[in-house]
Amino acid sequence: MQQLGGALRHIHSLGVAHRDVKPENILFMDSSYAQIKLADFGFASQCGTKKLKDVCGTPLYMAPELFRGVAYRGPPVDCWACGCVFYELWQRRQCFEQARDMGQLQLLVAKAKLSEPISKRVPVAVRHAIMGLLEPESAKRWTAQEVLTKVWPDFETLETTGEHCADPQPPLSVACGANQALGGGVHSIQPAQPGSDDLPTDITCSALANT
């Protein structure tokens, strides 16, 4: 969690929005599963503070503003997707897996109606982070910096010394059924299976217009 938050904070500080944050694009560096890298910048935009208009990403991780077809800021879109990943990590299911088609998905996302309430076994700070990231109003949504400093209050102090804060531990040692490494290499986190095969895995502005 901390590493993903740190990766997003870094690219956002450079004026870059990833726009396709999802488990498949979070790679373990080796079989120790100790380090991750954020991958696949195919939809990324060096947008700075300007708003974007093109719609892209993976539907189950797309923020409400992307479905509305309005101009949007890039970093909050990444933060919504980060919230989806955190939810999946702890709940072992996708946020909106009950959606059977794009129309239903749009309604669920607009209200942040999760597939199930966040379990009380999830630490309070993590629950707050997930709900802060899954805030339908982008202006009120938590930033990557807020996640780092609110979940790990000592983050900024430890960062100056090169130390790392310990992540709260999810119920699985490797979340979301991560690939088991055979002889090292880079492996992606495998997402929980969505509730419907009718949802596209990736989407562009032209695809959304035709749904």
Among candidate residues 136, 132, 142, the one with its CA nearest the CA of residue 107: 136
Residues carrying an active site annotation: 20
Tokens 């996708």: give the residue. Answer: 94
List phi, psi (to 5°) of 188.
-95, 155
User: What is the C-alpha to C-alpha distance for residues 101 and 79, in angstroms, rounded to an integer?
Assistant: 23
Token pair for 76: 């909050």
Angle at 24 between CA 21 and CA 30, to 5 degrees: 115
Question: Is the sign of the CA dihedral 111, 114, 118, 119 positive or negative?
Answer: positive
> Long-range contacts: 51-54, Cβ < 8 Å, 24+?
52/17, 53/205, 54/204, 54/205
User: What is the C-alpha to C-alpha distance for residues 19 and 197, in angstroms, rounded to an integer?
Assistant: 22
